[in-house]
Amino acid sequence: MRIGFIGLGNMGAAMARNLLKAGHDVVLWNRNAAKADDLVGQGATLAATPAEAAQAEVVHTMLADDRALEAVSFGEQGLLSAQPDFVHVSHSTVSVKLADRLAAAHAGHGSGFVSAPVFGRPAAAADAKLFIVAAGAESALAKARPLFGDIGQRSFEIGDTPSQANLIKLSGNFMIMSVIESLAEAMALAMRGGVDKAKLLEVLTGTLFGAPIYTTYGGLLVTESFRPAGFAAPLGLKDMNLAAEAAGDARVPMPILSLVRDRLTATVQREGNDIDWLGIAKLAWADAGLDT
Ligand code: NAP
């Protein structure tokens, strides 16, 4: 299939590589075109504009945030200026409002739109082990569906309102952040009592907490893998802000969200933009007088 892929960051480059490996004809666009060099060497082609990348059956976007996705979609030579015979599959973690706006814009343009945010870090993207949460009209989903198996281990279809997939993704990221905070606090307690945090994790994950979220993030906390960032703290903060915006609009109180959002804000202030979002653990440990 001829596929466009836009956004070759930590996640997108790995996803585009897997689509290429699966035998698709992949056309790339990235703001910094040099990031496409490697994939072009492996057989992909480089488009001069997002609209050119959309001369395909399906065009995937995996961009940092609302601003990036807006620029690529609505900007001059953006996706919505392309011929309409394509389906836009949006994997970025963006706002519910932008997903609604894109769904309406694509409907007006005559192109298809699927929101398909993903769970999984760059290593999972590289191994085609992402979880994909997809929503959109059946006619658009039918084109996107066969591609999900090339980039992920499982996909979930939520319904025909694209932004509901974004709401699920934001809910999930809020849960991940709260697990990181609670794990870090538990590790601080254990370490203050002379218990190795690896031992604590071994017991937790071997008993009641054997879920991937505890094994993956617990393992990263044990090895203190704060840099280089697989998922940078400013992107995590963007997600907590988007979750807070959605909660505000729906008048849903989320006190734990408020707490972890402040933790992440403080982490970015203290540590800079290059730390992984699991860097909030450093605050819990410093507050407990632990010099890790
Ligand atoms: P990243 O490494 O920071 O890559 C961001 C991408 O967005 C790059 O291609 C960047 O282009 C592009 N971009 C940023 N601002 C832009 C703009 N104004 N106009 C055009 N392009 C722009 O981010 P990532 O870690 O791959 O994450 C991508 C998305 O996936 C985010 O929404 C994130 O929340 C979500 N996500 C990430 C993870 C993870 O663990 N990393 C997991 C699940 C979901 P340049 O190369 O030119 O800068």
Mean pLDDT by 10 residues, the chain (292 residues): 97 98 98 98 98 98 98 98 97 98 98 98 96 98 98 98 98 98 98 98 98 96 97 96 97 98 98 98 97 76
Q: Is 92 in the pocket of ligand 1 (CB under 6 A)?
A: yes
Residue 132's pLDDT is: 98
Residue 103's pLDDT is: 98
Q: Is 11 in the pocket of ligand 1 (CB under 6 A)?
A: yes
**Gap between the Cα atoms of 213 and 210, Å rounded:** 8
Residue 147's pLDDT is: 98
Of all atoms in ligand 1, which is nearest to the CA of residue 91? 30
Q: Which two tokens stand for residue 232?
A: 């940078």
Residue 292's pLDDT is: 73
Q: Is 64 in the pocket of ligand 1 (CB under 6 A)?
A: yes
Locus of tokens 């004809």:
25
Residue 291's pLDDT is: 79
Position 210: which residue type?
G
Residue 109's pLDDT is: 98
